[in-house]
Amino acid sequence: MHVPEQRELPARDVVVVGGGIVGLSVAWRAARAGLTVTVLDPSPGDGATHAAAGMLAAVTEADFGEEHLTRLNLASAARWPAFAADLAAASGQDVGLQRRGTLAVAYDRDDLAVLRRVLALHRRWGLASAEVPVAEARRREPFLGPRLAGAALVDGDRAVDPRAVHAALTRALVHADGRAGSRAGGGALVRRAAVRLEQDHAGRVVAVHDDAGGRHTAGAVVLATGTPRDDTLLDGVPGVRLPVRPVKGLTLRLDAGPGLTPEHVVRGIVQGRPVYVVPRPAGTGTGPGSGPEHREVVVGATSDERPDDRRAEAGSVFSLLRDARALVPGLDEAALVDVTPRARPATPDNLPLIGATAVPGLLAATGHGRNGVLLAPLTADAVLAALTDGGVPLRLPADAPADLLGAADPRRFATTTRRAPEGAPA
C-alpha cells in the first residue's frame, strides 16, 4: 500500500466532508457568513445529487406517520425561493426553479382512493391541496393521458434542477467572500477523499486527512457524506459511524422538446406505484443539447433497499417508462438521454441527521433520504447556527414547531462503535 507523505494545509474554520448539494449548501452559507471553508469530495455532486429530480415537494411527499419530516420539509420549502434567488445572484447561473406547481393524479379508481386518503391527511395537517375534476386538470395540463381517475392541485410544490443548483453552488462557493466587518471568509473545493478524522487528547475532532496525505486542520468538521460507496471511509473516530443506509433509486432524463413537455410537475399513482414527471422550465436544463428545441423532463423514481451499485436494472427502467407514459403519453416520442442509478442516504426513522454529534467538533448534515434537495437550505442554516453557536440565528417560520430541529438531532441515535481516541489512554 502506498502511504502518501503528509502535507499540512492552512487551517480552516470548517471542513465539510462531501460535496453534494447538502455539503455545498452548508459550505456556501458558511463562507458567506465569513467562515473559511474547505469541501472534500473526490467527485463532487456524483452521488444522490446526480440522480435527484429536484422536486420541492413538502406537500406531495407528506406521508402517514411522517409529520415531523413534513414540518422540516415545509420549513425548507419556504426557504427555497430566497435561496434560489441568492444563489443565482452569487453564481450568475440559473437553477431552473419551476414555478407552475404540481398536479397530483390517480390512474385508476384504486389509485384515486389512495390519493383521497392523502388529501385528507393534507387537510388534517393544514397543507394546501385541492381535488379538481380531471377535465380541469387536463385544461391546465393538456399533456395528461386519456385515462385518469382523479386529480389534485398542489400549487406550493415546485422543483429545481439539482445539477444546475450544484453547478451554481460550486461557482458561488469558490467565489464567496466574507461579509464586511467579519474576517475574510472563503470557500475551496478539494477533489480528494477524506480518509480519517483526527482527534485531540480531549476527543475533539481537529483535522481531516485526505487520500493524498493532506491534513486539513479544522475548527469544526461537517459530515455531509450521503451514502459513502466505501464503508472504510472516515476511520479513526469512535462513534462516528452514522446510522445511514442506502436506498437505491433510478431517474430517467428525457429530451422532450417544446412540443411534448408538460408545464407542471406531474406526480401520479399508477396501479399503486408512485411515479413523477418533472419538466424543466423552458430555456433551462443541464441535459445534452440546449436552446429552445430542447426541454428536459425527469422521470423518477424507484426506491429499493439496495446498496449504491450504480446498476440501472432494466426492470426499473421499464417500470418507470410504463408508468410515466400512462400519465403523459407524449413522452413516448421524447428521447431517452440519461439513466441515473444512485443511492439516497436514509436513517432508521427516515428523519435527517442535522447538527452536532456526540463527538466534540463534529457535526452531521446527511440522512436526508428522498428530500436532500428540498432540505438543503434549512440544513445549511441549521448547521451554520450550530457552527456559530447562535451567532448566525436560525430563523424559522412563525408556525414552525418549537422543537422542529430536535427531531433531526444526530444524538438521538446511540453511537455504534466505541474505541479509544488515538493517543488517549485505553
Residue 315 corresponds to which amino acid?
G
Whichever of 317 and 356 has its CB closer to its own copies, that residue is 317
Nearest distance from residue 142's CB to its own copies, in Å?
19
- For residue 337, the minimal CB distance to its own copies (Å) is 8
Residues numbered 298 to 327 that lie near its own copies (CB under 8 A) are 311-315, 317-318, 321-322, 324-325
The Cβ-side half-sphere exposure at 162, using a 13 Å CA radius, reads 30
Distance of alpha carbon 189 from alpha carbon 38, whole angstroms: 6
Using CA atoms, how far apart are residues 395 and 212, in angstroms rounded to an integer?
39
Nearest residue to 250 (alpha-carbon basis) of 304, 331, 324, 296: 304
Q: Does 59 bind its own copies (CB under 8 A)?
A: no
Burial of 114 per CB tally in 10 Å (0-12, 13-18, 19+): middle
254 binds its own copies (CB under 8 A): yes
Per CB under 8 A, 343 contacts its own copies: no
| Subset of 278-297 contacting its own copies (CB under 8 A) | none
27 binds its own copies (CB under 8 A): no
User: What is the smallest separation between the CB atom of 339 and its own copies, expressed in angstroms?
Assistant: 6
Instruction: Specify the stretch interacting with its own copies by CB under 8 A; choose among 4-12, 187-195, 250-258, 364-372.
Output: 250-258
The least CB distance from residue 291 to its own copies, in Å, is: 16
User: Could you say whether residue 255 binds its own copies (CB under 8 A)?
Assistant: yes
In terms of CB distance, is 264 or 294 closer to its own copies?
294
- Considering the complex, state which of residue 108 and residue 313 has its C-beta at the smaller distance from its own copies: 313
- Burial class, 28, CB count within 10 angstroms (exposed 0-12 / middle 13-18 / buried 19+): buried
Can you list the pairs that 278-282 forms with residues at least 24 positions away whose Cβ atoms lie under 8 Å? Answer: 278/53, 278/54, 278/55, 278/98, 278/159, 279/98, 280/96, 280/98, 280/161, 281/96, 281/97, 281/98, 281/99, 282/258
Nearer to its own copies, 188 or 334 (CB): 334
Q: Any idea which residue has 385528507 for its cell?
A: 120
Nearer to its own copies (CB atom), residue 87 or residue 260: 260
98: DSSP letter: B
Residue ranges binding its own copies (CB under 8 A)? 252, 254-255, 311-315, 317-318, 321-322, 324-325, 331-337, 339
